A and B are shown apart, each in its own frame.
Chain A
Amino acid sequence: MPSIITLPQNPPPMKAEAKNLSFFYGDFKALKGVNMPVYENKVTALIGPSGCGKSTLLRCFNRMHDLYPGHRYDGAINLMPDGVDILHKDVDPIEVRMRISMVFQKPNPFPKSIFENVAYGLKVRGEKNRSVLDDKVEAALKGAALWNEAKDRLNELAVNLSGGQQQRLCIARALATEPEIILFDEPTSALDPIATGSIEELIGEIKHKVSVLIVTHNMQQAARVSDYTAYMYLGEMMEYGETNDIFMKPKRKETEDYITGRFG
């Protein structure tokens, strides 16, 4: 089935673009020729039923599949402004992950202090200057709206934070290396509604600094946080468009059936 991709009339600058992207887990073709833009400083949401390929697509963006035996990428994801194809075998996945970081479903802080969690990526990059680290950790924690709660306990173990705080810490850790895109894989599914609200608020804040790609099972969340929405089904991009249009007047009946809860 051909995708229905409706680009905005005055498109913002492109940050990345999936071009005819297919992905194979061994013989299983999990993505089938997906095309999708990711716009700069915008939030793009991927929705669709379980097994539709939305998480697979998200993970392609930072080469998470590289360790999967028998995996194969086909097509390209070009990252702007240089246009490098991040899936190309000559491109170092570590380099990709410096530019595109990820926040997972369950908060996964390292068993280290709050400070060390945020500073980790910077240290891996070779940053040793303590005052630079201090500044960047503070900026990242502020960016993740965690500074006020964490500033007096930077040396405490991160696992002592609440679930919502841990997730914000993971966002701070992702922000610390100043990535160009942050990927969110169902970032609030393990959180209560209040913590969910604060993460959603945060996504609205950080999009001024980075581009955001988010997978969510919660359609209302996609409607709340995203500027663009992509509906996927059985590994295909069914419809892509501005979130307002997708939720008010989708072009495809399949999209409408899914978002109105008629799917089944």
Chain B
Amino acid sequence: MSDKHLSTQFDAELSSISTRVLEMGGLVEQQVAAAVDALATFSEAQATQVIRNEERVNQLEIEIDRDLSNIIARRQPTARDLRLLIGVSKTIGNLERVGDEAARIARTTHRLIASGTHGRHFPTTAMVVEANMANASLRRSLDAFARLDVNLAMQVIRSDNEIDAEFDGLLRKLVTYMMEDPRTISASIDLVFVAKALERVGDHAKNLAEQVIYIVKGTDVRHTPPDGLESAVS
């Protein structure tokens, strides 16, 4: 049996909304990478660009939301179509939050530069490592969404604790900095928030992956412990 609707217009609408989710996902992924890069290199211009792009992320969320309402009103979707739209609705909420975290990091970079903290002796490399992990999770959950790949989504959920562990390590490092040189306390606290923002990006990636499982399987795996995941999905 065909996977296409009798209404090709409906197919086009659903495929367009998925494409736009991926567009939004790609954009926030770039935003996180650019924000962390701006922090690592203390680039004021790049941080400004991230803050400016945030507007586009918000705009995409609103546009996709409007498309969602239109499809629901006009098509009265059921079953997997309905699950897709509900999943998309939650996904874009999470992506918008990721965009917020990127903008937060960019604003922190501005503040650090303004306060004269200048690239001295901060664990920015470790920060980049955490950012790469979070971004990789985000990309994999978007891939899982694009391919409706439950196994990949489960991998993302399982790997979230690695990002959490990285965050804990970073926190310990920053505490050491503060103890060694109290003059770094103010900047270190800012960096704690950056590390937390990146950890949140990982959480959002996990939420996205949970929505992929919901869309494909119809199973709500939120708040399911990792070892119970397999049995919940099968």
Q: Which of A219, A220, A261 has the most CB of B within 10 A?
A: A261
A256 within 8 A of B: yes
A223 within 8 A of B: yes
B73 within 8 A of A: no
Which residues in B have their C-beta under 8 angstroms from that of A263? 1, 6
* Given A261-B7, A263-B6, A264-B6: A254 touches B79 (CB 8 Å cut-off): no
Of the residues A223, A247, A250, A262, contact of B5 by C-beta under 8 Å:
A262
Instruction: State whether A260 touches B77 (Cβ < 8 A).
Output: yes
Of the residues B2, B4, B80, contact of A256 by C-beta under 8 Å:
B80
- Total A residues in contact with B, Cβ cutoff 8 Å: 17
Instruction: State whether B83 touches A262 (Cβ < 8 A).
Output: no
A223 to B77, CA, bound (A): 11
* Given A249-B218, A253-B1, A254-B1: A261 touches B79 (CB 8 Å cut-off): no
A257 to B6, CA, bound (A): 10
User: What is the CB-to-nearest-CB distance from B17 to chain A, in angstroms, rounded to a whole number?
Assistant: 15
Instruction: State whether A259 touches B1 (Cβ < 8 A).
Output: no
* Given A248-B218, A254-B1: A260 touches B7 (CB 8 Å cut-off): no
A49 to B6, CA, bound (A): 13
Of the residues B2, B76, B218, contact of A262 by C-beta under 8 Å:
B2
Q: Mark B70-81, 1 if CB is under 8 A from A, else 0.
A: 000000111111
Q: Which of B6, B10, B77, B80 has the most CB of A within 10 A?
A: B80
Chain B stretch 1-17: residues in CB contact (< 8 A) with chain A: 1-7, 10
- The chain B residues found within 8 Å of chain A, CB to CB, are 1-7, 10, 76-83, 218
Q: Jot down 6 A-B pairs with beta carbons below 8 A, ordered by A.
A: A247-B79, A247-B82, A249-B79, A250-B79, A260-B81, A263-B6
